[in-house]
Amino acid sequence: MAKHKGKKKRTKEQLQIKEMFLEYDKTRDPQLREVLIEKHLYIAEILAKKYVNKGIEYDDLFQVASIGLILAIDRYDVSKGFEFSSFATPTIVGEIKKYFRDKGWVIRVPRRIQEVSKKVNNAKTYLSQNLQRSPTVSDIAEYLNTTEEEVLEALEASRVYAPQSLDSTFDSQNDDREVNLRDLVGEEDEYFNQVEIRDFFARAMTKLTDMEKKILIDRYFDKKTQVSIAKELNISQMTVSRIEKKIIEKFKVEMDETMG
């Protein structure tokens, strides 16, 4: 009887969270966003703990994972039918991966993930031949008798950890010729030179309010107009402009403190 009640309680909570996501998709209410973040912070906590003892403090990992969680909440489309945890996991792991890459530390792959990743790669090869198409996450999960979440984690891990030969080739998007990986490696240098800028940006972001963070991300990352942001937040365009100027001032202060 207790088990039955527990299951009903979880189902009710899942429905409530689904309704919250549907409402947030329509209104982009900052307060509702905060509630969704609080309810799912445990995902960021679990994933951050997986990468401790690898050269970065847990508090830093948790902060990065939380940023990934926020990005996942903003991008999640409940109508697609995926569980939020399945959608959020690769997004959060991706943010942690980028943080390690920026810092120049090497992530040691847990043995469990190595084993699952190997099975997933073998399954992809087998299913591709039998289905005559690229297998979906659902296909792989069903074939391995595991969850889609575990498959997604393994696929993400493969991208994060698996080294690629410089002789690997890719099809060019502009023509039919193949592009060698060694010809593209040089492009990474520019990215790594921006590590200090990213560190500065991360510090400056801690000085912003939730609304300021949203406006910053919407304006400079998602390339939204002040008009569309104002409509989304139910405020005037002038208010958005004023907040944007305030954000720039805060960044200037942080820059002066850094340079000083």
Which carries the bigger pLDDT value, residue 109 or residue 124? Answer: 124
pLDDT at 106: 52
Q: What pTM was computed for the model?
A: 0.41
Pairing outcome for strands 178-180 and 169-171: antiparallel
Q: What is the three-state SS of 199-240?
A: HHHHHHHCCCCHHHHHHHHHHHCCCCCHHHHHHHHCCCHHHH
- What is the rounded average pLDDT of the residues 18-24? 92
Q: Where are the alpha helices (DSSP H) in the chain?
A: 2-27, 30-49, 58-75, 84-103, 111-131, 137-144, 148-161, 187-192, 195-205, 210-220, 226-233, 237-259
Average of pLDDT values for 56-72? Answer: 90
| Digit-coded pLDDT (tens) for 67-85 | 999 999 999 988 887 788 8
81: region left, alpha or beta (phi > 0 left; psi from -120 to 50 alpha): left
The span from the CA of 75 to the CA of 24, in Å, is 11
Per-residue model confidence (pLDDT) at position 82: 79
- 93, containing H or E segment: helix 84-103
What domains can you pick out in the chain, each with its CATH number?
12-108 (1.20.120.1810), 109-163 (1.10.10.10), 196-260 (1.10.10.10)
CB 203 within 8 A of CB 250: no
Average pLDDT over residues 228-236: 90
Which of 8-17, 72-81, 234-243 is least confident? 8-17
Rounded to a whole number of angstroms, the distance between the first and last alpha carbons of the chain is: 65
The mean per-residue pLDDT over the stretch 9-28 comes to 86
Q: Does residue 206 carry a pLDDT above 90?
A: no
Does residue 22 surpass a pLDDT of 90? yes
Residue 71 in contact with residue 47, Cβ under 8 Å?
no
Res 9: pLDDT:
57
Range in 151-165, 202-216, 236-250 the model is least confident about: 151-165
Instruction: Give the total residue count for the chain.
Output: 260
| Cα separation, 155 vs 137, whole angstroms | 9
